[in-house]
Amino acid sequence: MFSMPLRDGARLGPLEVRHAEEFAEHLDRAREHIRPWVGAAFVTGDLAGARGTLERYARRQAADGARLFGIWREGTLVGGVMFTDFQAALGSCEVGCWLEPAAEGHGLVTQACEALLDWAFHVRGLHRAEWHCRADNDRSAAVAKRLGMTLEGVRREAWPYEGVRHDKQLWAVLAREWRAPGR
Ligand SMILES: CC(C)(COP(=O)(O)OP(=O)(O)OC[C@H]1O[C@@H](n2cnc3c(N)ncnc32)[C@H](O)[C@@H]1OP(=O)(O)O)[C@@H](O)C(=O)NCCC(=O)NCCS
């Protein structure tokens, strides 16, 4: 019901079970583009799989855990951002993202992640937000950098994909390093 405006007339809003059909259609456009870089469970192949992802996030959100948000441009779901992990008691979260190819290169994910981090730090009072990506995922690392995150380390050969183990980067920003909302 509620959404917030992003640049280029795009909008950010909760991605819920009721969106299963458009999420499945979006995955048809995004699947091969995101497959090497995101968790295997996220890359489902049909409507039931897409609905399963939304149901899993809904259950976790109900427990104040992970949350999923979609990015709509001209009424079409083109990607999204999420708290892949959210632990209020520990003051810590992890943010993730994806886009279909046509939506890349417009700054939508950076702006959407800023909204999530504003909420995590300023509304929920979290202390630390992480970003995990394959070390050769230059576009993802560029988002972390644009968000002002620091590369804290590399988990060597931590990401198995198609028989090869890739290094994984860990980026993070602390509440005291985060900027004020709207800046
Ligand atoms: C990671 C991913 C979401 C990044 O998408 P993106 O479009 O590069 O990121 P943003 O939405 O922040 O946009 C940044 C781009 O928009 C451009 N841009 C245009 N206007 C902008 C603005 N006002 N502010 C910021 N960037 C802007 C930037 O120059 C940059 O483009 P460039 O890299 O070609 O120079 C995308 O590449 C993707 O979906 N990859 C596959 C899945 C994936 O890797 N997910 C992350 C797993 S860790």
Q: Is residue 86 part of a domain?
A: yes
- Which two tokens mark 28? 């048809």
Question: For residue 2, what pLDDT band results from cuts at 50, 70 and 90?
Answer: confident
Cα dist from 32 to 27, 55, 81, whole Å: 9, 23, 18
Please count the structural domains in the chain: 1
- Mean confidence (pLDDT) of the chain: 96
For residue range 7-62, list pLDDT tens digits in order.
999 999 999 999 999 999 999 999 999 999 999 999 999 999 999 999 999 999 99
Determine how many CB atoms are found less than 10 A away from the CB of residue 111.
19
Q: Is residue 73 part of a domain?
A: yes
Query: Whole-model pTM?
Result: 0.96
From 104, 143, 154, give the residue whose CB has the most ligand 1 atoms within 8 Å, as the site to mutate.
104
For residue range 70-84, list pLDDT tens digits in order.
999 999 999 999 999
**Do the beta carbons of residue 70 and residue 19 sit within 8 Å?**
yes
Identify which of 78, 83, 22 has the alpha carbon closest to the alpha carbon of residue 47: 22
Closest residue by Cα to atom 35, ligand 1, is: 105
Ligand 1 centroid to Cα of residue 89, in Å, is: 31
CATH number at residue 60: 3.40.630.30
pLDDT the model gives residue 181: 52
Radius of gyration (C-alpha) of the chain in whole angstroms: 16
